[in-house]
């Protein structure tokens, strides 16, 4: 039996701010239970969902040294869907209204969490073969294992994997402050270890010391070895390229299933979408006050409204998009300039554009189920989950060829009648506009071809079971048994 420990700052269903939580909540359930004992350690946040907080079972507590101070560590546990979750409790660090606050405070909080997660293992009587760390918040774990923990017999031979969900976030602060809060000697604060220019970098430490490094798509694993996508760590990523692997994220096929989805007006599947999917479009048009028109090309966007997601491209050509007579449904929050951009066009083209500047799980499902196409023109996209949901719901993705978007959406080829969506290569507003117009042309003039694109998209398998098998192969390779 291989023992795997996931350490992360968030996980569904307990706490979620982004795609990281989906991965940590879904992946362990999909490993072969006969061969893998996979458990998860999370912080016990005050802002966790109440329904779960009340069910946590207290195990024990102890005190742990962190740099110059002694800290309380409470341990709780819960079984959820067959997986054991442990929670590290410390009210000083985890009592805020959100999981993350200002970066300096977060660095100390996650240094504490990383050290506490390792210190708790003998108390929990669980010795993992592999500690699987997620993002910068757990970057110090591989470093700590090589430092003070390397003396203990219990920790000998534990392997580590560092998974990068988004290289843009690295956990960086000035080295003097970090040195004081994390309890590591000067030895670790050199440019080949934690030091990055003049600052300390948690994620860099994890990448340097982990046995393997993974990221969330094959293309992104290649891209982060280049200067443009490498976020100043491209040299390190190239140096570690022999131990760097890209494994695509999946989505939960039970949660995102148009045949059983309770959020949507009309359920449908790959066989019935031609007749039934349209009923969701009608209902959404009515709900949002858009023109009731079955034939209008409806494009959906569900996203954080930030520059990374390609909204500056949309800003350049939104007038042309609106004048084409398509319907645009936007759901999400983010940078003020983009929130106001969509509010303005909602006001100007009230029957065609609907700006929903909030986030709602229910509304997101309705957008995936109702729209004809889904627009995702990202500048960079480590994996991206929205395009996978769109494919699952028979909504044709229009994406830029970067990261996971390139790996998951096959561009339509009208001569060979292949492909599951539409894509463009260069980060250019008019190239995006031309691609949207090409998709419109196929939708209006070649309806049978359009439906075949949907057929192929709904037949693609991006469930977690596929990803889990690849992680299992990687674990076997790392352990050599």
Query: What backbone torsions phi and psi does residue 477 show, to the nearest 5 degrees?
Result: -65, -40
Q: Angle 175-182/103-124 helices, nearest 10 degrees?
A: 30
Residues 126-137 have pLDDT tens digits of 999 999 999 999
Question: What predicted TM-score, i.e. pTM, was given to this entire model?
Answer: 0.94
Q: Has residue 481 got a pLDDT over 90?
A: no
Residue 414 predicted with pLDDT over 90: yes
Contact indicator for 13, 80 with CB cutoff of 8 Å: yes
Quick check: 18 pLDDT over 90?
no
Q: What percent of the chain has pLDDT over 70?
A: 100
CB 63 within 8 A of CB 73: yes
Average pLDDT, the chain: 96
Contact status, residue 240 vs residue 164, Cβ threshold 8 Å: no
Distance CA(458)–CA(289), nearest Å, equals 29
Which domains does the chain show, CATH number per domain? 2-250+465-479 (3.40.50.2000), 273-460 (3.40.50.2000)
Q: For 275-296, what is the mean pLDDT?
A: 97
Q: Are 351 and 281 in contact (CB under 8 A)?
A: no
pLDDT 10s digits, 52-90: 999 999 999 999 999 888 999 999 999 999 999 999 999
Res. 371: pLDDT tops 90: yes
19 — pLDDT class (breaks 50, 70, 90): confident
The pLDDT, as a whole number, for residue 226 is 98
The pLDDT score that the predictor gives to residue 60 is 98
Identify the band that residue 321 occupies on the pLDDT scale cut at 50, 70 and 90: very high
Mean pLDDT of 269-281: 97
pLDDT for 114 equals 98
Q: What is the pLDDT of residue 148?
A: 87
Give percent of the chain with pLDDT exceeding 90: 96
pLDDT digits (tens, 9 = 90+) for 132-158: 999 999 999 999 999 989 988 999 999
Distance of CA 259 to the CA centre of its chain: 24
Q: What is the pLDDT of residue 462?
A: 96
Beta strands 212-215 and 244-246 are: parallel
**For the chain, what percentages of helix, strand and coil (3-state, to nearest 5) are there?**
45, 20, 35
Nearest to 139 by CA among 217, 206, 63, 225: 206
Q: Which of 167, 47, 171 is nearest to 105 (CA)?
A: 171
Q: What is the DSSP letter of 243?
A: G
Q: pLDDT at position 68, please? A: 84
Predicted pLDDT of residue 67: 85
Q: What is the DSSP string of 423-457?
A: EE-SS-HHHHHHHHHHHHHHHHH-HHHHHHHHHHH
Residue 136: predicted pLDDT: 98
**Are the C-beta atoms of 278 and 265 separated by less than 8 Å?**
no
pLDDT greater than 90 at residue 17? no
- Closest of 110, 154, 116 to residue 134, by C-alpha: 110
List, for residues 159-189, the tens digit of each pLDDT value. Answer: 999 999 999 999 999 999 999 999 999 999 9
- What is the helix (H) or strand (E) element at residue 399, kind and residue range? strand 396-400
CA distances from 4 to 135, 138, 307, 475 (A): 17, 15, 36, 9
Query: Can you tell me whether residue 46 is helix, strand or coil?
Result: coil
Tell me how far apart the alpha carbons of residues 355 and 228 are, in angstroms, rounded to a whole number: 32
Write phi, then psi, for 14 (nearest 5 degrees): -75, -50
Show the DSSP H helices in 261-354 as ranges. 273-288, 311-323, 336-348
- In angstroms, the Cα distances linking 126 to 42, 62, 115, 220, 274 are 15, 16, 16, 33, 51
Cβ(108)–Cβ(116) below 8 Å: no
Interacting residues of 43 by C-beta distance below 8 A, sequence separation 6+: 9, 87, 88, 93, 94, 99, 109, 113
Q: Are 391 and 408 in contact (CB under 8 A)?
A: yes
Reference 377, options 397, 405, 396, 400; nearest CA is: 400
> What is the distance between the alpha carbons of residues 257 and 277, in angstroms, rounded to a whole number?
13
């Amino acid at each position: 039996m291989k023992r795997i420990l996931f350490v992360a700052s968030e996980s569904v269903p307990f706490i979620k701010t982004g795609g990281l939580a989906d991965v940590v909540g879904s992946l362990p359930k999909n490993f072969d239970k006969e061969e893998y004992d996979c458990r998860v350690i999370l912080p016990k946040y005050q802002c966790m969902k109440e329904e779960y907080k009340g069910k946590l079972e207290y195990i024990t507590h102890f005190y742990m040294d962190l740099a110059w101070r002694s800290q309380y560590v409470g341990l709780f546990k819960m079984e959820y869907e067959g997986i054991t979750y442990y929670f590290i409790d410390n009210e000083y660090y985890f009592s805020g209204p959100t999981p993350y606050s200002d970066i300096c405070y977060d660095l100390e909080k996650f240094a504490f969490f990383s050290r506490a997660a390792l210190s708790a293992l003998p108390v929990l009587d669980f010795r993992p073969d592999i500690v699987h760390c997620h993002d910068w918040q757990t970057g110090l774990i591989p470093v700590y294992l090589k430092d003070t923990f390397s003396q203990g017999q219990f920790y000998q031979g534990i392997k580590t994997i560092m998974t990068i969900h988004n290289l843009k976030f690295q956990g960086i602060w000035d080295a003097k402050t970090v040195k004081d809060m994390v309890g590591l000697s000067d030895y670790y604060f050199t440019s080949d270890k934690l030091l990055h220019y003049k600052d300390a970098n948690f994620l860099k430490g994890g990448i340097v010391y982990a046995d393997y490094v993974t990221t969330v798509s094959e293309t992104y694993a290649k891209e982060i070895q280049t200067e443009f996508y490498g976020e100043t760590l491209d040299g390190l990523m190239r140096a570690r390229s022999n131990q760097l692997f890209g494994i695509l994220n999946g989505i939960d096929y039970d949660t995102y299933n148009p045949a059983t989805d309770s959020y949507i007006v009309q359920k449908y599947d790959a066989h019935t979408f031609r007749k039934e999917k349209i009923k969701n479009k009608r209902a959404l048009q009515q709900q949002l006050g858009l023109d009731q028109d079955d034939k209008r090309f409806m494009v959906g966007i569900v996203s954080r409204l930030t520059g990374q997601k390609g909204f500056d491209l949309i800003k350049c050509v939104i007038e042309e998009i609106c004048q084409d007579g398509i319907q645009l449904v936007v759901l999400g929050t983010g940078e003020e300039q983009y929130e106001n951009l969509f509010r303005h066009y909602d006001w100007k083209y009230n029957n065609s554009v609907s700006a929903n500047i909030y986030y709602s799980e229910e509304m997101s499902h309705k957008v995936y189920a109702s729209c004809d196409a889904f627009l995702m023109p990202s500048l960079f996209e480590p994996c991206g989950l929205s395009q996978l949901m769109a494919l699952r719901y028979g909504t044709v993705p229009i994406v830029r060829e970067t990261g996971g978007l390139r790996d998951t959406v096959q561009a339509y080829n009208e001569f060979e009648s292949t492909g599951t969506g539409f894509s463009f290569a260069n980060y250019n507003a008019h190239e995006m506009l031309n691609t949207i117009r090409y998709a419109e042309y196929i939708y209006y003039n070649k309806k049978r071809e359009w439906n075949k694109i949907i057929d192929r998209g709904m037949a693609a398998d991006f469930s977690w079971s596929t990803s889990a098998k690849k992680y299992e192969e990687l674990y076997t390779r790392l352990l050599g048994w």
